[in-house]
Amino acid sequence: MSRGFKLGVLAAAVMAAAPVAQAFEAGDFILRAGAVHVAPGDSSDPLLVTGFGPLDGKQDLLAGTEVGVDANTQVGIRATYMVTGNIGLGVLGATPFKHNIKGESSLYAAGKLGETKHLPPTITLQYFPLASSSAFQPYAGVGVNYTTFFESKTNATLTGYVDSTANAAYGTPLGTVSDTKLDLDDSIGVAVEIGMDYMLNDNFGLNAAVWWADINTDATVSAFAGDTKVAEATTKVEIDPMVYMVGFTYKF
């Protein structure tokens, strides 16, 4: 038997006897970072316009005046604490997402009507079905999403639309609508996720994940003639996005 062959057999025996590197175990802290893309599956109700001042609360539903939200990509940071070798508690965070608000249906030709930013912190309970010795670690999770909107604003296109259509709808002069303001209520809803990690070594790996979140908001557009509020338009918007992430995994 050659010396080289003996050394090869010995090396194989040592590798076989060596303990397999553990992927995730109880007490591990897992950090994931990468690109997060939010693709809204949006829909909305038509705008309901309510008059103030001389219009004395008169209302008008403007059929076909739906709105939508475009997609956006940001840097995402996620963390998981492994409670056991198969159960983890996950938290999703990201840099603020910025979305254009656009006209749909009869408002489609108007294009962009405003914009908003939001943060979507999400907590999920995650299940990892494979043994901790597996480098490939798929998982699924369910939890709660809280979305807060900020820096929401309209543009001149929407202000001009309100100026022309609100006066016509009421048949009562409102005066020139010189400004509009947008307010979006925060949202709390269910979130579900599936994902996978592939560990390249004891600490470093690759990650990919997909979420769906139930995000709904009540939108209010207030119209002003000078300093006087003359009307407001309200609608319920269902954003319900699919969220995609690819990035890197680091285990502490």
83-98 pLDDT per residue, tens: 999 999 999 988 999 9
Range of weakest confidence among 55-59, 98-102, 107-111, 210-214: 55-59
**Residue 45 located in a structural domain:** yes
Q: Which pLDDT band, with edges at 50, 70 and 90, does 45 fall under?
A: confident
Alpha carbon 157 to its chain's center = 26
Report long-range pairs for 97-101 (Cβ below 8 Å, ≥24 apart): 97/38, 97/72, 98/72, 99/38, 99/40, 99/69, 99/70, 99/71, 99/72, 100/69, 100/70, 101/67, 101/68, 101/69, 101/182
pLDDT single digits (tens) 139-150: 999 999 999 999
Range of weakest confidence among 110-114, 133-137, 204-208, 223-227: 223-227
The pLDDT of residue 48: 82
How far, in Å, CA of 79 to CA of 88, rounded? 10
Q: Does residue 154 surpass a pLDDT of 90?
A: yes
**Residue 160 located in a structural domain:** yes
Q: Is 134 left (phi over 0), alpha (psi -120 to 50) or beta?
A: beta
The pLDDT of residue 16: 39
Average of per-residue pLDDT across 129-147: 95
Domains in the chain, number: 1
Q: Which pLDDT band, with edges at 50, 70 and 90, does 59 fall under?
A: confident
> Burial letters for 206-222: b for 16+ Cβ neighbours within 10 Å, e otherwise?
ebbbebbbbbebebbbb
**Residue 246 located in a structural domain:** yes
- Residue 207's domain spans which residues? 21-251
Q: Does residue 18 surpass a pLDDT of 60?
A: no
Average of per-residue pLDDT across 76-80: 94
Contact of 145 with 215, CB cutoff 8 Å:
yes
Could you count the other beta carbons within 10 Å of the beta carbon of residue 243?
23
Residue 96 main-chain phi, psi, to 5 deg: -60, 135
pTM: 0.82
* DSSP SS3 for 165: helix
Q: Does residue 9 surpass a pLDDT of 80?
A: no
**Residue 9 located in a structural domain:** no
The pLDDT of residue 11: 39
Beta strands 59-62; 67-69: pairing state: unpaired
The pLDDT of residue 170: 58
**Residue 162 located in a structural domain:** yes
Q: Which pLDDT band, with edges at 50, 70 and 90, does 63 fall under?
A: confident
Specify the CATH number for the domain of residue 163: 2.40.160.20
Q: Does residue 14 surpass a pLDDT of 70?
A: no
Contact of 211 with 92, CB cutoff 8 Å:
yes
**Residue 12 located in a structural domain:** no
**Residue 30 located in a structural domain:** yes
**Residue 13 located in a structural domain:** no
Which of 141, 122, 125, 32 lies closest to 77, judged by CA?
Answer: 32
pLDDT single digits (tens) 163-190: 777 666 555 555 678 899 999 999 999 9
Q: Does residue 3 surpass a pLDDT of 90?
A: no
